[in-house]
Structure 1
Amino acid sequence: MRNSRIQIPVEGGGVVAGTLWEPAGEPHAALVIHPATATPERFYANFASFLAENGIATVTYDYRGTGGSGSPRAHRHLGMRDWMEGDVPAVAGWAAERFPGVPHLAIGHSLGGHALSLGNGTAGLAGFLLLASHAGTVKAIPDRAERFRVRLMLHLLGPALGAALGYVPARRLGLGEDIPAAAMNQWGGWARLPRYFFDDPAMRASERAARVTQPVLALGFSDDPWATPAQIDMLTGHLTAATVERRTYTPADGGVARIGHHGFLRSGVRETLWPEVVTWLSKRAQG
């Protein structure tokens, strides 16, 4: 397995920085991991390496204005929609050109899954996986303390800091990587709506999701405080033309004490859960 740094221009301006993880031999498939909000590319490195070891060339990256893809202050105008409709298709298109002779797949973690569910970056895919991806309405968070914490971050501290600084210092707030102010504002706005961005007329989300036809595997985790079964179903329920398989794993299934919203990407479930996902992806690649 080998890896190399890549840079991918995005239509409309800016560059996405990422990493290409390649098998030692010829890949039997190519895959892009579209990340979650404020989740750095390095967090996906172990899983991407595992995919490459199993013959799947894999691309990981940071959205513009996060991590290695530029300063959040310099990209303060970029919202989540810009990532979904600009960055995601740009990286998917790069992968399609780099590996023209193999089947293509994708994994969308949280926000990355939102993009795929709306048809961004799905052209030519043999299938894609939604990882802890859900309609992120704050009032649907079951735990009262967690609901208060998220509401405080999304509706008070985040917007206030974004207005003052031009970006949100999410790292200091315990939310991951720093993000542009516009991304926080759009996130907070959608999170107030009963059906998340499906209630935003500008997104035409229901219409776009209904046009997606690829096979989909939607993974959830029993201890995820945000992506509950009901909120995952709210997202996948709009994929009316796709064949959607739902799986919910418990920490016991993974042989770990906790999985939550991000734990599937940690190497503790390498021997338990990762092989099941590779099996599903490989079957889609084989047709």
Structure 2
Amino acid sequence: MNLITISLNQADFLASTLWERSDAKAVVILHPATAVVQEYYKGFAEYLHDMGFNVVTYDYRGTGRSKSGMLRNCNVSMSDWIEQDVSCVTTWARARFPELRLMAVGHSIGGHAILLSPATRLLHAAVLVASHAGVTSTIKQTMEKLRVWCLLRVLAPVLCRTFGYMPARRLGLGEDLPAPVMLQWGRWSAMPGYFYDDPDWDARRRAGEITLPLLVLGFDDDPWANSDAITCLMSPVKNSQIERREIRHADFGVPAVGHMGFFRIRCAEKIWPEVGKWLASQCQHTG
């Protein structure tokens, strides 16, 4: 395991970790969820490394070890993460390992990035874990819908205005976030088609142009990435070979998975192979 720094431009960088082996059969990039740092994915990265992959994890700008300066001065948005950060690490991995197939696993917004990043054309295959259109109206539970609505539409704008960033850690919501990230997320959540309805972004066209094989995982106890929300996200993806799996956690003997639990060690023995074996199978495909 090596800590590395990937330069995005003269001022910005992505703090990354590389698990490398001499006999690797492919490279897998792990794109994190919002407000989640790369250390969260360490166990899963080690699992993939043991399976024969080189693995790259990293932090988006403004989070984890990719923070630079005062967070209130960070003007990076969610679309910047997708456009720039994801493209940067993907291009770096392609240049570092030009002879190996390049694949990705995206968690939540990390899955959005796989659908929308211009660098996705460099991938051979990808997995979306708990990725969904974050539209508040798709949340089934009334109290959870109200909680998320209040957070994104009321509390977040006030806190971002007050602090100059989103103090998510104080609320138990993960990493503190740049204000533009949180505010853009809130705007998208109010649109019926999420970012597909953003007039400043051609997200629907981008998703429609994806052609690589995709494994899409959802979990029956995830209140956000439920079946309808996943369908909303995947509806423009017309040209990919998509394999959707709805994981019923009880069937795997796991007490809970939810939105965050797939990457916890309790899922290692029974659920991680759903992804590990699929990625390994993609190394056998020609093309």
The normalised TM-score by structure 2 is: 0.95
1:69-106 deviation per Cα after TM superposition (whole angstroms, max 9, x unaligned)? 01561553111000000000000011111111111100
**Which residue of structure 2 aligns with residue 46 of structure 1?**
43
Q: CA deviation at 1:147?
A: 1.1
Distance (Å, rounded) in 2 between the aligned partners of 1:284 and 1:233: 24
Aligned 8 A contact 1:253 1:272 in 2: no
**Which residue of structure 1 aligns with residue 59 of structure 2?**
62
1:141 to 125, 139, 142: 139
Distance (Å, rounded) in 1 between the aligned partners of 2:270 and 2:13: 36
The structure with the largest helix share of the pair is 2
> What secondary structure does 1:184 align onto?
helix
**Which residue of structure 2 aligns with residue 164 of structure 1?**
162
Within 5 A, what are the aligned runs for 1:64-83?
A: 64-71=61-68, 73=71, 75-83=73-81
For structure 2, the 5+ residue unaligned runs are none
2:129 to 111, 114, 131: 131
2:213 paired with 1:215:
yes
1:197 to 190, 195, 214: 195
Over 3 Å off, 4+ runs: none
Q: 1:253 to 1:6 in 2, by over 3 A?
A: farther
How much identity, in percent, do the aligned residues show? 45
> What secondary structure does 2:200 align onto?
helix
**Which residue of structure 2 aligns with residue 177 of structure 1?**
175
Q: CA deviation at 1:13?
A: 4.1
Within 5 A, what are the aligned runs for 1:266-285?
A: 266-285=264-283
For structure 1, the 5+ residue unaligned runs are none
Aligned 8 A contact 1:141 1:225 in 2: yes
Paired residues, what number? 284
Distance (Å, rounded) in 2 between the aligned partners of 1:16 and 1:141: 33
Q: 1:20 to 1:74 in 2, by over 3 A?
A: farther
> What secondary structure does 1:162 align onto?
helix
Q: CA deviation at 1:253?
A: 3.1
**Cα RMSD, aligned residues only:** 1.3
Q: CA deviation at 1:121?
A: 2.7
Q: CA deviation at 1:12?
A: 7.4
> What secondary structure does 2:191 align onto?
coil
Q: CA deviation at 1:144?
A: 1.1
Q: 1:149 to 1:123 in 2, by over 3 A?
A: same
